Structure 1
Amino acid sequence: MMQVSALVAMAVAMGVYQGVNPSMGWLYATARGLENRSVKSLIDGGVKFAWGHYLGMNVVLLPMAWLLALTRLHPMLLMPWIGATLMVYGLLKLRSPGHPRLLNRVSPLRVSRWSFVMALTHCGSPLMMISPLLGLVMVSQAGAPAATNLATTLQGYTLLALGISAAMALPQLLISLAIAMAVYSRLGLKALTRYWLNFDLGWSIIFILMGAMAVGM
């Protein structure tokens, strides 16, 4: 149970970090609220952004979960490869931190679609969530009877994938909405000129560190 709590806490912590990141929703939500002078527009923008991100994660995590269920492959065999991929991705982001050109082809007005593509091509949240998913699958395999049928395994792994995605997306949504509301109602746009951090740099470093941990396992 302790291991499960640690894996879920890892996903939640990443969601909190992404929620604080301006490019992950709250800046857009604030802009929508100020543009329409409406809290409803602010919340709508934040929810649509988080929904696109959640879908982007599951496009990667669900097939991974199904592959593990169908092959009965032990997740530990994938850890070194996932870890190496995380480190390479982090290094590439350090070298080229800008948005990929593919995002330019998606209209910013289509918020959920833009967030979906951003999750897959720029921030890498789906890739980041593979390690916690593999950990949860390992815990599930250790506690499941050897004779567990395929349908039950598929259902269980599907719920794990959906759950670990939600464990990141919900904190991201709540934190981004809280910050957007604070800027909208209290701090104002002047706060954006006073307080600004490079969250993408920290995100890249987290990729490298998590990759090293996965390889070390």
Structure 2
Amino acid sequence: MNTATEGAALWLAVAALGAWHGLNPAMGWPLAVANGLMAHRAAALFGTLLPLAAGHLMAMAVVLLPFAAASGLLAWQQPIRIGAGLLVAAFGAWRLVNRRHPRCLARVRPTQVALWSFLMATAHGAGLMLLPFALGLCMPAAQAPLPAAAGIAAAAAVAAVHTGAMFAAGLGAAWAVYRWLGLGTLSRSWMDLDAVWGASLVLAGAASVGMAL
């Protein structure tokens, strides 16, 4: 795979993962719908989605920026990407076996939406899922290693694109339920996505390893 093709594939993966995170109810869009319905205005829906996206962005940045800043490791980009992919797959396998959520999430007050989003994304390994693909953009194999500042800028762009896709997908799902379907649809058709999420982590890890080889 040439550099341009790999770069396009990695950016597509970053955006697709963002959309998947946004559609996943565990990332919070049902909370936005509930707030919108209780307030009887769409502004409450947007007002909830924005801090949800901000918390998600922080969770991505906490994972991505330290790796991007480690300029001394860029020469080892392929082993790092492979190791990160294997770590993602292992975490996904663990999530398939253990689906319990940390108790600390239940202690976050309803008004602390951004903090809740940050903790939920971290607990689900959302940033970890994105890491191998982001490393491919921050540590290009076919080019000279990026300076630390350039790597950080690339990681910030990855987090922003990913969160933008997450926000757009979550907004689409929330608006459809708020405007047309109603929360009753969720109670009638709710499905436990923990198994799907764990499987997607395994697949994302495997895909990132394949792209790094």
Residue of structure 1 equivalent to 2:97: 95
Structure 2 residue 179 is matched with structure 1 residue 178: no
Question: How do 1:76-115 residues align onto structure 2 when only pairs under 5 Å count?
Answer: 76-115=78-117
39-48 vs 198-207, which moves further:
198-207
Work out the CA distance in 1 between the residues paired with 2:128 and 2:23.
19
Residue of structure 2 equivalent to 1:20: 23
Using the TM superposition, give the Cα deviation of residue 197 of structure 1 relative to its aligned residue in structure 2, in angstroms.
3.0
**Number of residue pairs the alignment of both structures matches:** 208
Question: How do 1:1-217 residues align onto structure 2 when only pairs under 5 Å count?
Answer: 1-67=4-70, 69-121=71-123, 123-139=124-140, 142-144=142-144, 153-216=147-210, 217=213
TM-score by length of 2: 0.89
Q: Is the 8 A contact 1:61 1:161 kept in 2?
A: yes
Q: Is the 8 A contact 1:20 1:176 kept in 2?
A: yes
Cα deviation per residue 1:66-112 (whole Å; 9 max; x = unaligned)?
Answer: 01x14443211213321221122111111121211222332232000
Structure 1: give runs of 5+ residues left out of the alignment: 147-151
Using the TM superposition, give the Cα deviation of residue 214 of structure 1 relative to its aligned residue in structure 2, in angstroms.
4.1
Using the TM superposition, give the Cα deviation of residue 20 of structure 1 relative to its aligned residue in structure 2, in angstroms.
1.4
Structure 2: give runs of 5+ residues left out of the alignment: none
Q: Is the 8 A contact 1:132 1:164 kept in 2?
A: no
Work out the CA distance in 2 between the residues paired with 1:56 and 1:138.
20
Q: 1:99 to 1:45 in 2, by over 3 A?
A: same
Q: Is the 8 A contact 2:52 2:113 kept in 1?
A: yes
Residue type at the aligned position of 1:96 = N
195-204 vs 2-11, which moves further:
195-204
TM-score by length of 1: 0.88
